[in-house]
Structure 1
Amino acid sequence: MLKVTNLRETDNIKPIMLRAFIAKKITALMNEYSVDTLDDIGCFVVLEKDEISAFTVSEMEFVEVLEIGEKYYLHGAKILGDSYGEDIYLPVEVVRK
């Protein structure tokens, strides 16, 4: 599990397309709230495939499947307080018929 609250920490995100996607969202939030980090607002959480137990659907405000690059992620937002939330990404395999 990787928690990210600023652009410097995005360097640890793999793959690069997910890194760019999250960096863009962080930049937008920092501009919107006029802050240098998201420490007081929330964080982005990137899970590994085997960390599925950390993605509890019933705790999410919403859940969707995102295609970022050529990979798929289960994406959800968890609200932990009045002004703090987690944006969570879990890599998943998508089966097509």
Structure 2
Amino acid sequence: MQKLRSIATISNAAMPSDLKSYLVQKMENIEKTYHCDMGDILSVILLEKQEESYLLDKGLEFYEILSFSHADWIHTVWASSDGYSEDIYIPFST
């Protein structure tokens, strides 16, 4: 599991380049919209396939499938408390 709490850590993390570009742009937009540092309100969690129990333990209400670098990723959000959440991604294949 990688827990990324800043745009700099996303930029330096090992992941597909199109996923990295997507996350950097998304987090820049969040920072502009909410006038704060990403780490104050959000962490990006990148999981490995074998870490799927992390998702199951959260009792998540929604998910979506996103495609990056010819691979599908499950994306969901877990709000651990008011004002803070985790943006979670895990590779997925059928």
d(CA) in 1 for partners of 2:23, 2:61? 19
Q: What amino acid sits opposite 2:61 in the alignment? A: E
Quick check: 1:57–1:63 contact (8 Å CA) kept in 2? no
RMSD in angstroms over aligned alpha carbons? 1.6
Within a 5 Å distance, the mapping from 1:37-56 to structure 2 comes to 37-56=37-56
Structure 1 residue ranges, 4+ long, deviating more than 4 angstroms after superposition: none
Provide the aligned length of Structure 1 versus Structure 2: 93
Unaligned runs of 5+ in 1: none
Per the normalisation by structure 2, the TM-score is 0.88
Within a 5 Å distance, the mapping from 1:4-83 to structure 2 comes to 4-10=4-10, 11-35=12-36, 37-56=37-56, 59-83=59-83
C-alpha deviation, 1:47, in angstroms: 0.5
Structure with the largest fraction of helix:
2
